[in-house]
Structure 1
Amino acid sequence: MSVVYSEELFPEASKVDIARTKTYLKKFVKMKKALEDFEQNPPETEKQRNEQAKWKRIVRNIERAKEQILQYDVSVVIEYRFIKGNSRAATILRFSSWGCCDKTIDRKIEEGTISIANTLKYLE
């Protein structure tokens, strides 16, 4: 007798998941800096400890999800834009040497965001 599973092996992120991932990516550097501060100055309240645990999980999962991006160019753009915390304009300027227009860089950012959202879907 075989068992049929209704869950997908690699689930697709919904629009809500993608929007949440965009928010996480925009706040990534701030969360990472806060975690570094918590290492220097341990949390004093239960609320701070809860935030620290939540941010630690989010940061770790985003870093893992970024490593799962298969296309090298998308991975590099996502790292420069969100992991290193550069602006959209700086990212476009940095990768203009690839011969890509700003719309192409925006598509790579969108592809990377969706890839991270898909990976977060099964990591969480």
Structure 2
Amino acid sequence: MAMIWGQGELFPEANDSEVQRTKFLLDKYKDMLILMADYEAYEKELAMVAVDGEVARRIDQDDLHADKTANAVILIEKQRRVYEQYKFYTRSIFRAYGLIRDPEAKRAIERRFIDGYSYSETMQFFQRSAYSESTVKRKIAEGTAKIANTLKLWGFFEKDVFDF
């Protein structure tokens, strides 16, 4: 069963804001993975800090007599929601990255975002392969657009929640 979008598009193209959102998420991809690994490794310690520490007391600065236990539960739940949101983002991005068919665009996206190298490190890597800076920029843009188009096809941007 094929899904059809508003104007009869079988394969919709991401608009500029969706491409920018994809680029933002790609820029944060490696950071999200690191934070997820940290959360998984230290989830119990984070919960203890929330309960025992002063963090829970400071959720609302205006509340002079805050219920520390209730605030700790709220803080723990917020951390878990952020973790789940990051998991949704990283899995979706990695799956969409896997569908890039152009090997040069895929390699450029991998080097820049999946492996987490800086822009200048990515350029240096590809210059050794005799690619010009403009070619690498174009391949990164093509890969980003492909990922954004795939995410749009999956309905990612409708599920994407900006407020945590």
* Deviation (angstroms), 1:39: 1.1
Write out per-residue CA displacement over residues 54-86 of structure 1, whole angstroms, 9 at most, x where no aligned residue. 100000000001001010011011001001110
Taking CA–CA contacts closer than 8 Å with sequence separation of 6 or more, which of the two structures ends up with the larger relative contact order? 1
Deviations 1:16-74 (A, max 9, x none): 10010010011011000011111102263111111011100000000001001010011
* AA in 1 matched with 2:153: Y
Structure 2 residue ranges without an equivalent (≥5) = 48-75, 157-164
The answer as to 2:79 corresponding to 1:48 is yes
Q: Given the two structures, how large is their TM-score scaled by the length of structure 1?
A: 0.91
1:100 and 2:131 are equivalent in the alignment: yes
CA RMSD across the alignment: 1.3
* Number of corresponding residues: 120
Which runs of 4 or more aligned residues in structure 1 lie more than 2 Å from their structure 2 counterparts after TM superposition? 5-9
Determine which of 39, 64, 68 is the counterpart of 2:95.
64
TM superposition shift of 1:122: 2.1
Secondary structure at the residue paired with 2:11?
coil
How does 1:1-124 map onto structure 2 within 5 Å? 5=4, 6=6, 7-42=8-43, 44=47, 45-123=76-154, 124=156
Identity of matched residues, %: 38
Uncovered stretches (5+) of structure 1, i.e. residues with no partner: none
Q: Give the greater-gyration-radius structure (CA).
A: 2
Structure 2 length-normalised TM: 0.70
